[in-house]
């Protein structure tokens, strides 16, 4: 029986394309692994605050898109009027993280979810990236 190299190198792969997007006004929950943060319906280990804004929702979305355009190794792959999905790759091994943002029509916040596609731990990368985006948006007075 032939064994896949990816299962040897990356045990416990957690990524599933079906876990992306907004369903019933919520981003998906995080898996049990330590490589995800989300601002909606999260347990203490995975919880992160949403990003508040005080400008028009479309302006907040446009500013967020500009911030994402300068985040290293990050590419926006999907966007609607209330949802943004980006991919961020690690510098050395090119591991892919899914970074999602949801701007609900009835709240002045940006909900976020950032999750690694593989492995059990990201050494805090998804949380740090999310907090850096939060700080950049705060500096831009959204």
The pLDDT value recorded for residue 17 is 56
Helix (H) / strand (E) element for 109: namely strand 109-116
More confident residue, 125 or 18: 125
CA-based R_g, the chain, Å: 15
pLDDT of 8 over the 90 cut: no
The pLDDT value recorded for residue 16 is 52
The pLDDT value recorded for residue 18 is 56
DSSP 26: E
More confident residue, 139 or 95: 139
pLDDT of 14 over the 70 cut: no
pLDDT of 11 over the 80 cut: no
More confident residue, 10 or 71: 71
Task: Give residue-wise pLDDT tens across range 55-85.
Answer: 999 999 999 999 999 999 999 999 999 999 9
What is the C-alpha separation between 120 and 34, in angstroms, rounded?
6
pLDDT of 45 over the 90 cut: yes
pLDDT of 9 over the 80 cut: no
According to DSSP, the β-strands at 83-89 and 74-79 are: antiparallel
Task: Give residue-wise pLDDT tens across range 89-126.
Answer: 988 878 899 999 999 999 999 999 999 998 888 888 99
The pLDDT value recorded for residue 123 is 85
Contacts of 109 (CB under 8 A, 6+ apart): 39, 50, 51, 52, 53, 103
**3-state class percentages of the chain: helix first, strand second, coil last, to nearest 5:** 25, 30, 45
By the 8 A CB rule, do 71 and 53 touch?
no
The pLDDT value recorded for residue 98 is 97
What is the C-alpha separation between 117 and 52, in angstroms, rounded?
27
């Amino acid at each position: 029986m032939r064994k896949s190299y990816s299962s040897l190198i990356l045990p416990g792969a957690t990524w599933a394309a079906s876990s992306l997007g907004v369903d019933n006004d919520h981003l998906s929950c995080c898996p049990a692994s330590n490589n995800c943060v989300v601002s909606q319906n999260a347990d203490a280990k995975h919880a992160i605050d949403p990003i508040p804004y005080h400008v028009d929702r479309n302006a907040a979305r446009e500013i967020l898109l500009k911030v994402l355009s300068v985040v290293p190794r990050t590419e926006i792959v999907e966007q609607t009027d209330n949802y943004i999905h980006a991919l961020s790759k690690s510098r050395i091994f090119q591991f892919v993280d899914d970074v999602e943002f949801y701007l609900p029509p009835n709240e002045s916040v940006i909900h976020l979810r950032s999750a690694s596609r593989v492995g059990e731990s990201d050494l805090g990368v998804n949380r740090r990236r999310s907090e850096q985006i939060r700080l950049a948006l705060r500096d831009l007075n959204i």
